[in-house]
Chains A and B, each alone.
Chain A
């Protein structure tokens, strides 16, 4: 076991897979010699060579096409989009192509591609860096979307994503890259995609979150505890497909729920979680399921992040509203 930050755990997962499977290729803008703009691929080109870990021209769409073509010739591409705000340049390759490869060929061909990309607010990035666009991907049939919140989850989920024979979008929250360390096994291990994790057990209200909002929810749960409210915090870990069983089991136990996301209220996937709960557990609900989300504006100018981004206080407030309904 070693103490790792999330970024170290991510690097470790790629190193593990590069070592294990010679078909794994890591590529993107500045991921080679430079080791990535966040050092996620630090040392990998030096260790595995330019044939396995390499830079690309500056064109996200081309990177997506490259991944599809390499996938067709027997490779297992791990491509990076430098910031997920640049998704719009490559959305056809992901949603229009990779996600449909198996379907279009009636199962004859597939796209075993992992798309790694940083996103998320709180670090005062320039425009189009921090936007939460996971909702767009979650609406895309044929694509799975994974968002880890801890170093341990990041490693196990990334190894699973790389081994998956269908495309997986793996979103890495920038604020979580180096915000804390955690024990991470040095050997390989996997975490099943599509499985949520109960990060804190509770009996009065379920707080369902993902990404940086998991930590805000845990902080909120501590404050709620002081006021005698026992909150259960569920980290979705995979936002498409949802782990319905874990969500519903928790809601059936607590009878109350809120869904927390950093994305705007009209975006993200909170509405989907609410709909699933309503369809499956309405008779267990003591109150409506409310959402904590950002305002439906464009992602804020850097200096306005603090007032715009949802935080633990918003979660406490919404949880109490549901608790006292």
Chain B
């Protein structure tokens, strides 16, 4: 008996791509049905996010932002997938996935408050179906199975999408989440943004599996590996996963091959300790903005002027958002006590009085 299961499996997870690095359509059949305005909007969002990332890194260095996980390089993966959602769909983001929830309706100033560590950063606008950025890697995956089942039970024509990284696919909760969603045929889309590194650990050290998409096999669900630097491919894959979920065909695991140009977080990570300049250069050539810009320019849908306009708008918005975040009141212990329970138990009622007295001094 010849053992060749692995090769057979791996051959079924070839990278799905629509746009080449030169901005040429290489897979016409898969080209999503997007209007010129939608294509421009996708570009606007990616440029906006790139500027926001640059500003956030600089604001973080100035101490005007707290925790921040850079996103440059992952714009196509993040925004292409979010663009395929309905506004009432749910997003369960990881800690890096702030752009998705912002373009879903989470105000920028609240994203900044979340970064600084202020409870108002978690007070989402009413009707916005998102959760706070999840710090416990994998927890969002099991929760997304639950949300996906809840949407199905309520008969909603909506899905939940959740994101983790390559490292996150090693967690137990990752497997449990995709397996539960499969067992219940939940309306869930799982996205693994494989940027090749979990802090300093390369993806090769996470698993012997050649793709992360093939981990879907363990749950008996569909899996697809996508060029995560190709916004059209990410959009098309997500759109299809969404339709499948709503047709009762169950969850999908999408692996996006992407790269973060910056450090893991702004908390002292130095990627030169574990990444070579060659690898950085290789991935910079795949920059999702560069290839989509080429594509749009060829179609006469993008000009330098439009780009400048977005850059200026992003800078203005960020300035205004930071200003608004600055005006948030300083947090008091009584505020924190007040958001623990619907009705305060004895110990907190007592402590509320103590801190009220202290705060009124």
Contacts and interface: CB of A to CB of B under 8 A. Distances in A.
A223 interface: no
Interface in A47-94: 51, 56-57, 59, 61-62, 64-75, 92-93
B132 A104 contact: yes
Contacts of A141: 340
B179 A107 contact: no
Contacts of B147: 69-70, 72-73
B124 A108 contact: yes
A241 B347 contact: yes
A190 interface: no
Interface string B87-125: 000100000000000000000000000000001101110
B131 interface: yes
A239 B340 CA distance: 18
A70 B144 CA distance: 9
Contact of A105 (B132, B179, B180, B342): B132
- Which of B122, B142, B145, B149 is most buried by chain A, counting CB atoms within 10 A of its CB? B142
A194 B148 contact: no
B131 A109 contact: yes
Given A59-B176, A59-B180, A62-B145, A103 B339 contact: yes
B124 A61 contact: no
Contact of A65 (B132, B143, B346): B143
A103 B340 contact: yes
B173 interface: yes
Given A62-B180, A103-B119, A106-B122, A69 B342 contact: no
Interface in B42-95: 90
Count chain B CB atoms within 10 A of each CB in A62, A68, A93 and give the residue with the most.
A62
B342 A66 contact: no
A61 B175 CA distance: 11
Contacts of B132: 104-105
B3 interface: no
A166 interface: yes
Interface residues of A, number: 43
A93 B342 CA distance: 20
Interface stretch (B150-158, B257-265, B284-292, B315-323): B150-158
Contacts of B90: 72
A97 B136 contact: yes
Given A107-B123, A108-B123, A69 B347 contact: no
Contact of A96 (B119, B139, B153, B172): B139
A106 B143 contact: no
Contacts of A107: 123, 338-339
Contacts of B146: 65-73
A197 to B, nearest CB: 16
Given A57-B183, A73-B150, A106-B120, A64 B142 contact: yes
A62 B122 contact: no
Interface residues of B, number: 43
Nearest to A99: B340
Nearest to B186: A69
B106 to A, nearest CB: 12
A309 to B, nearest CB: 30
A144 interface: yes
A228 to B, nearest CB: 35
Contact of B143 (A68, A110, A194): A68
Contact of A166 (B156, B173, B177, B341): B341
Nearest to A167: B341
B268 interface: no
A96 B348 CA distance: 19
B345 interface: yes
A106 B145 CA distance: 24
B345 A69 contact: no
A80 to B, nearest CB: 15
Q: For A56, A109, A245, which residue has the most chain B Cβ atoms within 10 angstroms?
A: A109
A165 interface: yes
Contact of B149 (A57, A70, A243): A70
Given A65-B146, A65-B173, A97-B139, A73 B154 contact: yes
Given A74-B154, A96-B139, A103-B340, A61 B346 contact: no
Contacts of B338: 107
A105 B128 CA distance: 12
Contacts of B153: 51, 70, 73, 75
B253 interface: no
A110 B139 contact: no
A74 B149 CA distance: 11
Contacts of B160: 69
Given A62-B177, A93-B142, A96-B136, A142 B150 contact: no
A281 interface: no
B142 A62 contact: yes
A271 interface: no
Residue of A51, A68, A244 with highest tally of chain B CB at under 10 A: A68
> 8 tightest CB-CB pairs across the interface, nearest first?
A69-B146, A65-B142, A73-B150, A62-B176, A241-B345, A106-B123, A69-B147, A66-B146
Interface of A: 51, 56-57, 59, 61-62, 64-75, 92-93, 96-97, 102-110, 141-142, 144, 164-166, 194, 241-245
Given A62-B173, A71-B146, A244-B346, 13 more contacts: A56-B180, A65-B141, A69-B142, A70-B150, A72-B131, A72-B143, A97-B136, A103-B339, A108-B122, A108-B124, A141-B340, A142-B341, A242-B347
